[in-house]
Chains A and B, each alone.
Chain A
Amino acid sequence: MAENRSKLPRLRRWWSVALVAPLLLFLLASFVAPVLMMLSRAVIDRDLERVWPDSAAALRQWDGAGAPPDALAATVAREINAARQAGTLNQAANRLNYDMVGSRSLLYATADRLAAGTPGASVADLARIDPRWGQPGIWAAMRHADGPLTRHYLLAALDRRLNADDRIVTVPAEQAVFANIYLRTFKISAIVALLCAALGYPVAYLLASLPERKANPLLILVLLPFWTSALVRTAAWAVLLQTNGVVNKALQAVGLIDAPLQLIYNRLGVYIAMTHVLLPFFILPLYGVMKGIAPTAMRAASSLGAPPLRAFLTVYLPQTLPGVGAGAIIVFTLALGYYVTPALVGGGGDQMISASIAFYTNQSLNWGMAAALSLLLLLPLLLMIFAGRTMVRTVPA
């Protein structure tokens, strides 16, 4: 026996590493690496460098003050022409258009004229093709994109941009959208977390105060939605909350309303469906915490004369706060990243930041922007998790 014990640890170290290694390698390759690679695109910018290597190098040499040197203009003109022939001008044009609207058409018009033999050996030559080449805007846009690092996407995700003088300025009000969407995302998530707390606390309390024989059947009522996918439950709400859906029909039949209410494709629908989807994530961890609280403390408090409410507020509630915090953090953080539910039951003004990320990924293919928005979604989340340290301990296990 003693001999075995002395042998086991040596085997253990070996075995434990060998057993965990396949999964770690798999996750490193299939999860950690892609997430980091994707997030790095928020600050790494090689689009211009890839198409115009010489221009990017020359732009990095230039200090950006005053008029650009003629040699730089000649390099840019040569590479515009080369990229047009190679069919890669599109990449540079798209990238510069993010920084300065109109760059696309400027580049294509310039490329046509250069291909037709118009000289492009100096800034003055280019300015004869289009006067914008004589202004600082396009040169600043190119300098912001000269790689390998850029602040452009992160600033844009914060409704800021670098102007031609490299100062950070706020974008015009009609383009400033992301601050609003982030605020909305945090507001919806916080309200859903509060609703879950308000609805879930009494239920967890009831479940924890019942003997297991009675609590277990009731627990199934929490587990059933927990087991059913978020999509299916969202679809169920979409079915029920229609203008001619069951809920409206029932309210009309009872006589509470005369005309159908708009219950869906608005904020109300988002709150209802998201609260429904996330409520079990609040109840279950809180129930776990409440089950671990000794009932004797409450009994002691009331035997010492504390009225039930006072005993609850001063003795029981403080002990459950870690569970409330854990449940609220889980609900809040899950809500922050939700895509399917707001997409299906929200209106245009209820979309969360995930919808913007989806737009830049699938539709406009501006991956730098999608990465920057993801980074700004992930950062507060990681801060909360590291600050609370509750998530890792409560969600799994």
Chain B
Amino acid sequence: MSARRSRSERAGRAALIGFSALVFAFLVLPILAVIPLSLNPTTFLVFPEGEFSLRWYRTLAGSPQWTHAFGNSLKIAVATTLIATPLGTLAAIGLAYMRSRAKTAIVAMITAPLVVPVVVVAIAFYFLFAPLGLVNGSLGLIVAHTALAVPFVVIVVHAALRGLDTELLRAAASLGAPPLVVLLRVLIPLIAPGVAAGAVFAFMTSFDETTVALFIAGPEQRTLPIQMFEGVREQISPAIAAAATLLIIASTLLLGAAELLRRRGEGRRPGSAAPDIGA
């Protein structure tokens, strides 16, 4: 009896592992498969046979469209990070101190940009910016990306604050430090890993953002995702695979680092913050 059950249990376990392995393959292989395709010396989208080439990376580096788009994305993402990180960090600290009933409403408003479909956000910005002449300008994109990125900063920093030893703040205050000094000299250094993680999430949110950019960016603000989107629409060449590879490497390194920082900051298991709610 018990032997048979354990046999069926073992079969069940094997089926579970087998099925999960297929799902893991489905999740990861498509991303990894792009990398060898980009090292292909020919114009075909096949795996290189014996010979690897950086031809398509040189194509990207030599194309003014791609380099211009990269520069734009970098500029907009840096500006977004510089605005979203302090705004979000201060708000997260404020929320952690807040006891009022308004807190629920405030949190709902701060996280609303994550919940409202990106298309709706995108056309809202289009309607706002078109009469103001901000469509076709970097400022509009920076403002829009900041609104989309700031919830991640608040969430990550807020989580870091939960793991904070508040006795340290009390000790500083009881030794006579005024609140501003406690904030700047004690609190912020303690949550620095969380703030850094939030900044990286903000950067990647802007760097990867496609839909809003497609709606409100003009030809001069063409970002990397727009360039990529149109490349996929028009003609899929190994250059797309090369661009995708670069973006995969960038986001893996940056967000992997952010995840480590975040975990160090709050001492929790991985995988609860959302870096990309996509398009």
Binds A, one of B31-39, B60-68, B189-197: B31-39
Report if A98 contacts B (CB, 8 A).
Answer: no
- Complex Cα gap A212–B109 (Å): 35
Report if B181 contacts A (CB, 8 A).
Answer: no
Q: Which of A20, A30, A227, A231 is B106 in contact with, Cβ under 8 Å?
A: A20
The verdict on A37 contacting B90 (CB below 8 Å), with A227-B275, A246-B37, A308-B8 known, is no
Q: CB-CB < 8 A to A341: which residues of B?
A: 278-279
Do B225 and A229 touch across chains, with their CB atoms under 8 A apart? yes
Do A37 and B118 touch across chains, with their CB atoms under 8 A apart? no
Q: CB-CB < 8 A to A1: which residues of B?
A: 170, 174
Closest residue of B by beta carbon distance from A336: B117
Do B232 and A357 touch across chains, with their CB atoms under 8 A apart? no
Report if B210 contacts A (CB, 8 A).
Answer: yes
Q: Which of A41, A287, A377, A396 is B120 in contact with, Cβ under 8 Å?
A: A377
Do A32 and B112 touch across chains, with their CB atoms under 8 A apart? yes
Do A30 and B28 touch across chains, with their CB atoms under 8 A apart? no
Do B94 and A19 touch across chains, with their CB atoms under 8 A apart? yes
Report if A17 contacts B (CB, 8 A).
Answer: yes
Query: Interface centre among A19, A28, A287, A309, by most B CB within 10 Å?
Result: A19
Q: CB-CB < 8 A to A240: which residues of B?
A: 30, 33-34
Do B26 and A357 touch across chains, with their CB atoms under 8 A apart? no
Contact with A along B219-254 (1 / 0, CB 8 A): 000000100110111001000110110011001100
Report if A11 contacts B (CB, 8 A).
Answer: yes
Do A395 and B115 touch across chains, with their CB atoms under 8 A apart? yes
Report if A149 contacts B (CB, 8 A).
Answer: no
Interface of B is mostly: helix
Contact with A along B17-44 (1 / 0, CB 8 A): 1011001101110110110010000001
Q: CB-CB < 8 A to B124: which residues of A?
A: 31, 34-35, 37-39
- Complex Cα gap A230–B279 (Å): 6
Do B272 and A397 touch across chains, with their CB atoms under 8 A apart? yes
Q: Which A residues between 1 and 41 are near B, CB-CB below 8 angstroms? A: 1, 4, 7-9, 11-13, 15-24, 26-28, 30-35, 37-39, 41
Do B128 and A37 touch across chains, with their CB atoms under 8 A apart? yes
- Complex Cα gap A90–B228 (Å): 36
Q: Which of A22, A222, A244, A395 is B90 in contact with, Cβ under 8 Å?
A: A22
Report if A293 contacts B (CB, 8 A).
Answer: no
Do A202 and B16 touch across chains, with their CB atoms under 8 A apart? yes
Q: How far is the CB of A19 from chain B (nearest CB, A)?
A: 3
- Complex Cα gap A337–B23 (Å): 25
Closest residue of A by beta carbon distance from B143: A30
The verdict on A16 contacting B269 (CB below 8 Å), with A38-B123, A396-B111 known, is no
- Complex Cα gap A221–B14 (Å): 19
Interface of A is mostly: helix
The count of residues in chain A whose C-beta lies closer than 8 Å to any C-beta of chain B is 107
Do A381 and B117 touch across chains, with their CB atoms under 8 A apart? yes
Q: CB-CB < 8 A to B119: which residues of A?
A: 337, 339, 354, 357-358, 374, 377
Q: Which A residues between 340 and 397 are near B, CB-CB below 8 angstroms? A: 340-341, 343-344, 354, 357-358, 361-362, 367, 370-371, 374, 377-378, 381, 385, 391-392, 395-397
Do B151 and A235 touch across chains, with their CB atoms under 8 A apart? no
Q: Which B residues between 132 and 158 are near A, CB-CB below 8 angstroms? A: 143-144, 146-147, 150-151, 154-155
Report if A322 contacts B (CB, 8 A).
Answer: no
Do B90 and A246 touch across chains, with their CB atoms under 8 A apart? no
Do A378 and B270 touch across chains, with their CB atoms under 8 A apart? no
Task: List 20 additional A-B contacts (Cβ < 8 Å) besides A37-B128, A219-B270, A221-B27.
Answer: A15-B183, A16-B95, A18-B94, A27-B109, A28-B109, A30-B147, A32-B112, A223-B256, A224-B27, A226-B275, A229-B278, A232-B251, A233-B30, A244-B44, A276-B30, A281-B274, A337-B119, A339-B211, A340-B229, A378-B117
Q: A residues engaging B (CB < 8 A)? A: 1, 4, 7-9, 11-13, 15-24, 26-28, 30-35, 37-39, 41, 199-200, 202-203, 205-206, 212, 216, 218-219, 221-240, 242, 244-246, 249, 276-281, 284, 287-288, 291, 307-309, 333-334, 336-341, 343-344, 354, 357-358, 361-362, 367, 370-371, 374, 377-378, 381, 385, 391-392, 395-397
**25 A-B residue pairings within 8 Å (CB atoms):** A4-B174, A16-B97, A17-B94, A19-B93, A20-B94, A23-B90, A27-B113, A28-B109, A222-B271, A224-B31, A226-B275, A230-B278, A231-B210, A232-B244, A233-B31, A235-B244, A236-B34, A240-B33, A242-B45, A337-B119, A339-B122, A377-B117, A377-B120, A378-B117, A385-B115
